[in-house]
Amino acid sequence: MEQQYESYRDLADSLKSASALLNLERKSQLHQDIITICNHLVNPSFRIAVFGPFNHGKSTLLNAILGNRTLPIDLIPTTGAAITIKYGSDVRTRIMLVDGTEIFRSGTEVLQQFAILDGNRQMRKDVASVEVFCPHPFLETGVELLDLPGTNDRDEQDNLVREQLLSADLVIQLLDARKLMTLSERENLRDWLLDRGIKTVIFVANFMNLLEPDEQKQVQNRLRFVAESFRSELPPGFSNLYRVDALPALRARLKGDVAAANSSGLVAFETALQNIMGILQPNRGSVRLPRVEAIASQIQFSLKAKIDPIAIEIKSFDDKQNTKIEIKQKAANLIYKGFTTSLEELRDWLTLPKLLTKYQADAAVALAENNFKNWQTNIFQKDLSQLQFATVKWLDQAYEFFQEERPQDLLIPFPSEPQVILPSKPSNTDDLSEPASIAVGGGIGWFLGGPVGAAVVGSISYLLNKNIQTKDEQLAKESYHQQVAKLCITAIEDYFSRFSSQALSILNEYEQKSEKVICFEFSQEPLEITNKREILQPLQNSFNQLLRELEKVKILSNHQPYKEILKYSNTNRKYSPQPKRVRTSPQKDPGVKQQPENIAKNSQTRVKSVSPRPEEVEAKFRDWELNEEIGRMKAEMQSPDSQTGKKQNPTQSNKAPNQPKTQTEKDKITRAYSILGLQANASLAEVKQAYRTLVKKWHPDLFVGKPQLLKQAQEKMLLLNEAYTILSEK
């Protein structure tokens, strides 16, 4: 039992907490009902209230039960307060005033001053509660009797009665047999009792003794109909209808006339009342909890009315923020992917072996022909600029998208031009029948002309394409132009070694600085939303706590608990897709000069332009896709309706939204589908995939050096581009 009352106390606390959050008016009906039911939940006494319109004899009936004139009675409405009658060793009265004053008197005469209606038939506004203590054995069992003011007199009295009925475990509805079940009584039966979960009700008919015998039979039949139509929840075997002639019963008790008390119906009623109370009292929860359920339902609806609008607003904000964050994260990842790919391509291009493989032959020839400056500007610098641009553009994209730190320029300087000092000419002039070499100042410092120059160029190509194992003692046997060729090769190797070492160092530093560009800071949550979260959290907690407490006492609810809306946790943090890197020193310094023989061994001459490999075409297409995706995300970022909760249906996103209006447009679209090898109305995803496949097959870069196929590929690409544009924009 103690555990049960502990649960009731927790439930009462939960109801009060919820009421406080609702900011209800103190005089509102819901607020008064909550206070009443909470106090009733933890009250160990079993309360029996007598309820009915004025002048129905409520106080007279209670006096008859108590066996004395404890309560004031008269022919006019008198009871002006809810009088609680409790057990006491002697008869005395306690009155609590609104200002906290306590009035304690022996007997009940003080009731004439505080507990009856005034001359204007109004209740006193300064009385908070009225209690009467009596030494009656029925009260000693833990029963409290409640004498309520009559209804249908004043609204103020009706409100008090309606409030007090919630705190009654058993309601005695007193009926006047002379005017049985008036319209107001029927309304009160429905509104004040049934609709509020009060179903432990007993009907008692008074004034039957004032009717003729024939009228009594008719009234008895009508009473039976009233009782049967009201589904009272009383213990099995007990009737919910009794007849008690209140005034004759009181007179019989005052005189000690047992026979008269029996004939008035009082004894039978008292016996039934004690038995019903004895069964209901140990299980008061079954009586009180239905009233709690009705009140709790109102509280839950009121809480939801406050919670849902705030929750919807916060969720809408969170959805928009999360969508923006998802877009930014995806964009950051895509930009980082494009940047790292381009960066690695540039880093790979800058490695000494790759530079020597691709450029050493042409550079050495340019050096031998005194054309190195022009080669460096028109060939080498142009290739470097393309790779630099392909790398830097991603940081420009990041700055445009995130507006974090502006990217720095990627400046990779060229070393000073290579210098070659000609060896001494051999004394044997058999091999030097060509015009003599002429040394000149500036630039590379020398110039070879005529057949000797051509021989040097030929030797450069020969040496770089052959696997030659040269020994120091063989140098003397080599021809003069071969010695010069080796000097050119060595000078170029030294040039590329210096360039590679410095450029890779600059690139590593540039990569580290990119971390401050390809990132974004999560925006600060508006103060208005933060405040609403602080309002929402206790409301949701109170709602969920009330659900839990109701479940403990076996009251089920149709509502589901709220899931906590977490506080926006991304405030003042930065997102960067770049992992923390720990760079280690390379095992081999790229700037260390290799021997010309080894370079010659591992290198190949590239004199003519070579067609790109298919993977290079794939890389170009990949960049195009990344740029297209980032452009789409920029458009999404600018769209105010972009929300995670409003994701497009995949089927809808892949369908063309509009149909062409003219036959010419229809023909163009039909032809575009045909060019891409698709059926009409193919999805945009299918269009994109078909275009990608055909571009990889017909990209002009794949046919360099094949004039006829190159022209055919260029024409095909024009058609593919036109078809893709038409279908992607329709």
Segment 341-354, tens digit of pLDDT: 999 999 999 999 99
Query: Of 130-139, 335-344, 452-461, where does mean pLDDT reach its minimum?
Result: 452-461
Nearest to 221 by CA among 181, 268, 248, 255: 181
Q: What's the pLDDT score for residue 635?
A: 67
Whole-number pLDDT of residue 331: 87
Residue 710 has pLDDT above 60, yes or no: yes
Compare 497 and 52 and report the one with higher pLDDT: 497
Name the least confident of 393-407, 469-483, 539-553, 662-676: 469-483
Backbone angles phi, psi at 614, to 5 degrees: -55, -35
Amino acid 651: pLDDT = 40
Taking residues 603-615, what's their average pLDDT? Answer: 41
Predicted confidence (pLDDT) at residue 653 exceeds the cutoff of 90: no
Neighbour count for residue 281 (Cβ, 10 Å) = 17
Q: What is the DSSP string of 331-386?
A: HHHHHHHHHHHHHHHHHHHHSHHHHHHHHHHHHHHHHHTT-HHHHIIIIIHHHHHH
HSE at residue 645, side-chain half, CA atoms within 13 A, is: 9
Give residue 509's pLDDT.
93
User: CA-CA distance, 467 to 223, in Å (whole number)?
Assistant: 125
DSSP state letters, 396-428: HHHHHHH--SPPPP---PPPPPP--PPPPPPS-
SS3 205: strand
Residue with the bigger pLDDT between 508 and 75: it is 508
For every residue of 582-648, which 3-state class applies, written as one string? Answer: CCCCCCCCCCCCCCHHHHHHHCCCCCCCCCCCHHHHHHHHHHHHHHHHHHHHHHHHHCCCCCHHHCC
What is d(CA 128, CA 540) in angstroms, rounded to the nearest whole number?
34
Distance of CA 656 to the CA centre of its chain: 32
As a whole number of angstroms, the distance between CA 446 and CA 422 comes to 8
pLDDT tens profile 535-565: 999 999 999 999 999 999 888 888 999 987 7
| pLDDT of res. 461 | 64
Confidence of residue 587 (pLDDT cuts 50, 70, 90): very low
Q: Where does residue 64 rank: exposed (0-12), middle (13-18), buried (19+ CB within 10 A)? A: buried
Measured distance CA(480)–CA(486) in Å, rounded: 10
- Per 3-state DSSP, the chain is made up of helix, strand and coil in percentages (nearest 5) of 60, 10, 35
215-219, 359-363, 629-633: segment of lowest average pLDDT: 629-633
Tell whether the model's pLDDT for residue 646 goes beyond 80. Answer: no
Residue 200's Cα: distance from chain center in Å?
47
- For position 454, what pLDDT does the model report? 57
356 has a pLDDT exceeding 60: yes
Q: Which residue has the higher pLDDT, 316 or 230?
A: 316
Residue 618: predicted pLDDT: 57
pLDDT band, residue 715 (cuts 50/70/90): confident
> What average pLDDT does this structure show over 82-90?
92
Q: How confident is the model at residue 201 (pLDDT cuts 50, 70, 90)?
A: very high
Cβ proximity of 576 and 515 under 8 Å: yes
Nearest CA among 423, 477, 474 for reference residue 452: 423
pLDDT digits (tens, 9 = 90+) for 376-400: 999 999 999 999 999 999 999 889 8
Give the helix/strand (H/E) hosting 668: helix 663-675
pLDDT at residue number 42: 87
Q: Which two tokens stand for residue 161?
A: 């009665």
Residue-level pLDDT at 584: 42
| Residue 554 DSSP SS3 | coil
At residue 592, does pLDDT exceed 50?
Answer: no
Task: Name the band, by pLDDT with cuts 50, 70 and 90, for residue 626.
Answer: low
CA–CA gap between residue 624 and residue 646 (Å, rounded): 28
State the pLDDT at residue 463.
66
Taking the CA atoms of residue 606, residue 607, residue 613 and residue 619 in that order, the dihedral angle to the nearest 10 degrees is 90
> Looking at residues 154-175, what average pLDDT do you find?
87
* The pLDDT of residue 17: 92
**What's the average model confidence in pLDDT over 555-577?**
76
pLDDT confidence band for 498 (50 / 70 / 90): very high
- Angstrom distance (rounded) from CA 63 to CA 685: 90
Report whether pLDDT(417) > 70: yes
3-class state of residue 93 by DSSP: strand
- Region 256-279: mean pLDDT is 93
Q: Rounded mean pLDDT of 236-254?
A: 92
Residues in the chain, total: 730
Average pLDDT of the chain, as a whole number? 80
Domain locations along the chain: 45-284, 648-730
Average pLDDT of 479-497?
Answer: 87
Reported confidence tier of residue 422, pLDDT bands at 50, 70, 90: confident
Q: b vs e for 326-335, b when ≥16 Cβ sit within 10 Å of the residue's Cβ?
A: ebbeebbebb
Q: What is the pLDDT of residue 615?
A: 55
Give, in order, the Cα–Cα distances in Å from 624 to each of 166, 350, 631, 695, 726: 75, 24, 11, 12, 18
- Beta strands at 143-147 and 83-87: parallel, antiparallel or unpaired: antiparallel
Going by the DSSP 8-state scheme, the letter that residue 53 receives in this structure is B
**Structure-model confidence comparison of residues 139 and 568, the more confident one:** 139
**Res 608: pLDDT:** 35
Q: What is the pLDDT of residues 90-119, one digit of tens each?
A: 999 999 998 989 999 999 888 888 877 765
Q: What does the DSSP 8-state code read for residue 192?
A: I
Lowest mean pLDDT among 365-369, 540-544, 548-552, 634-638: 634-638
> In the predicted model, what is the mean pLDDT of residues 511-531?
89
Most confident of 7-11, 259-263, 329-333, 585-589: 259-263
Given this model, what pLDDT does residue 377 score? 94
8 Å CB contact between 175 and 52: yes
Q: Give the C-alpha separation, 681 to 341, whole Å.
A: 35
- Tell me, letter by letter, the H, E, C secondary structure of 135-158: CCHHHHCCEEEEECCCECCCHHHH
Q: What's the pLDDT score for residue 588? A: 43
CATH of domain 45-284: 3.40.50.300
From residue 194, alpha-carbon distances to 63, 227, 273 in Å are: 28, 14, 21
User: Is residue 471 predicted with pLDDT exceeding 50?
Assistant: no
* Pick from 147-151, 628-632, 678-682: least confident: 628-632
Which region among 228-232, 383-387, 631-635, 688-692 has the lowest average model confidence (pLDDT)? 631-635
Whether the CA torsion 65, 68, 73, 78 is positive or negative: it is: negative
Kindly indicate the confidence band of residue 455, based on its pLDDT and cuts at 50, 70 and 90.
low
Contacts of 707 (CB under 8 A, 6+ apart): none
- CB under 8 A, 24+ apart: contacts of 190-198: 192/161, 192/162, 192/165, 193/165, 194/230, 195/294, 196/33, 196/165, 196/166, 196/291, 196/294, 197/290, 197/291, 197/292, 197/293, 197/294, 198/165, 198/166, 198/168, 198/171, 198/290, 198/291
C-alpha–C-alpha distance, residues 67 and 255, integer Å: 9
Indicate if the pLDDT at residue 570 is higher than 60: no
Domain spanning 648-730, CATH class: mainly alpha
